[in-house]
Structure 1
Amino acid sequence: METQKTGFAAGRTKKMTITGMLGAISVVLGFTPLGFIPIGLANVTTMHIPVIIGAIVEGPFVGAMVGLIFGISSLIKSFMTPTPISFIFMNPLVSVVPRVLIGILTYYFYTAMKKVVRNEKTVLLMSGAFGTLVNTVLVLGTAYLLYAQRIVEAMSLPEGGAFAFFMGIATTNGVPEMIVAAVVTAASVTAIKKIVKN
């Protein structure tokens, strides 16, 4: 019984440590230029990648907690450094909820794919891309549903131009972000698992 308690405490401590570490990385990426990689015309974000890694390595709870930290930092940043469209991220339904769901949905996608795809690296690449897709679709989709007209006004777009605006972001940034996240996730998770084994 004592051994079980010790094992449980050690496991909980490990999860808390990884959550704190990956959450801190997300915050640093969010508040510094390190969170963005210029690729051509795109400004690719990497802030969501720690959420994906946390979900794969430690499960949906850790993924959700890292996502929560990422989302809250995004919410805070929208007030600290406002832009013409910062009002979007001042709503937790846009800035926080989708980021929590990244961790949960990515974990279940990863476990499902492991049952049908034998190559672990392929599954990791797919999971990194999937987590990014979740972030892109949920954030932009929620923003469009809630703020389409305000975006038109804030960005001086033609009437009904919000859809094209968001599709442009999804196409220009979303695809490169999926590629970057896939590669970084596969490399990072592989390295972490090797360290844990040793």
Structure 2
Amino acid sequence: MSEKNVAFTRDRSIPKSYELVLTALFTAIIVVMAFTPLGFIPLVVINATIIHIPVILGAIFCGPKKGAFLGFVFGLTSFIKNTLMPTSMSAFVFSPILASSIDGAAGVVKSTIICFVPRILVGIIPYFVYRGIVKLTTSSHAKAAKVISNLVISVLLLVGIHAFFAKMLTTDSKEMIGWVSGAAAAVIYFIVMELTGRKKDGRFLGYVYAGVTGALTNTLLVMPMIYIFYKEAYANALSIEPGAVMGVILGVISFNGIIEAIVAAVLVAAIGMVLNKVHRR
């Protein structure tokens, strides 16, 4: 078997006992992150959520079934925290118990869906994205796949860094500074990855894309669900007009969502490569 094929199949050879140990470890990490400040990285204008990182890694190394379980644990911690220790008026979104006082039995169903379904999918979708990227980058189209992958991440960097500076700065030129900084970072990333990334096997890009899709799966499912299920109630909780809810939703997706996706890409790639080396030993 060639080295490229070994790179694709090695993760599948993880012993069941090792998978169980990793699943237990990731479960403990999720619980600790959920109930301590360790689940967030302060980035000046945002506390980037990283609780989904062990869910994504669990999906990659232990498979989609155990990944789904870890996603359920993620959702369960969110349910417990928002029910027993709510930090905002919109905590009912993730708490079926609190939602029942707002929308009765329908609220229980809606908040259960929002709280658990996106988080469970965070433990499933990245697995297939990782496998797909690894397979694609070991095919005859590997060069084109890596170029396209680098372009997509570069665009995410451009948008994320622009949004970061647009919120952090108060000067009239903040938009220009944001676009220039984002463009510079995107170009540098693309050039560096094109010069050095070809020496890496497909797993590295697989980890990057698994991190991005895992983070975006959570954001792109939770926020639209809030709009669909709780537009009026969410507006009341935020003390805004119902017509302004869409703007808030899009703002969270374009700012928090992109930045958290970038953070997830970095952390999943870094930790994933380390875990892969440990497994190989």
User: Do Structure 1 and Structure 2 share a fold, with TM-score over 0.5?
Assistant: yes
> Residue deviations 1:145-196, cap 9 Å, x none?
1111111111111231111111111222111111111011011111111111
Partner in structure 1 of residue 133 of structure 2: 113
How do 1:78-93 residues align onto structure 2 when only pairs under 5 Å count? Answer: 78-82=82-86, 83-90=88-95, 91-93=111-113
Contact 1:41 1:172 in 2 (8 A): no
Q: In structure 2, the residue corresponding to 1:26 is in which secondary structure?
A: helix
Contact 2:58 2:123 in 1 (8 A): yes
Measured after TM superposition, the shift of residue 49 of structure 1 is: 0.6
Cα distance in 2 between the residues matched to 1:165 and 1:81: 24
Measured after TM superposition, the shift of residue 66 of structure 1 is: 0.8
How do 1:35-184 residues align onto structure 2 when only pairs under 5 Å count? Answer: 35-82=39-86, 83-90=88-95, 91-118=111-138, 119-184=202-267
Cα distance in 2 between the residues matched to 1:21 and 1:142: 31
Name structure 2 gaps, 5 residues minimum.
1-13, 96-110, 139-201
Measured after TM superposition, the shift of residue 100 of structure 1 is: 0.6
Measured after TM superposition, the shift of residue 95 of structure 1 is: 1.3
Identity of matched residues, %: 37
The amino acid of 2:130's aligned partner reads Y
Q: In structure 2, the residue corresponding to 1:157 is in which secondary structure?
A: coil
Measured after TM superposition, the shift of residue 30 of structure 1 is: 0.9
Contact 1:71 1:96 in 2 (8 A): yes
Contact 2:67 2:120 in 1 (8 A): yes
Contact 2:231 2:242 in 1 (8 A): no
The amino acid of 2:129's aligned partner reads F
Cα distance in 1 between the residues matched to 2:242 and 2:119: 30
Measured after TM superposition, the shift of residue 16 of structure 1 is: 2.4
Cα distance in 2 between the residues matched to 1:12 and 1:170: 37
Cα distance in 2 between the residues matched to 1:88 and 1:159: 16
Contact 2:60 2:127 in 1 (8 A): yes
Q: RMSD between aligned alpha carbons?
A: 1.4
The amino acid of 2:60's aligned partner reads I
Q: In structure 2, the residue corresponding to 1:84 is in which secondary structure?
A: coil
Name structure 1 gaps, 5 residues minimum.
1-9
Contact 1:42 1:172 in 2 (8 A): no
> Residue deviations 1:62-94, cap 9 Å, x none?
111111111101111011111200000012211
Contact 2:129 2:206 in 1 (8 A): no
Cα distance in 1 between the residues matched to 2:231 and 2:17: 43
Normalised to the residue count of structure 2, the TM-score between the two structures is 0.64
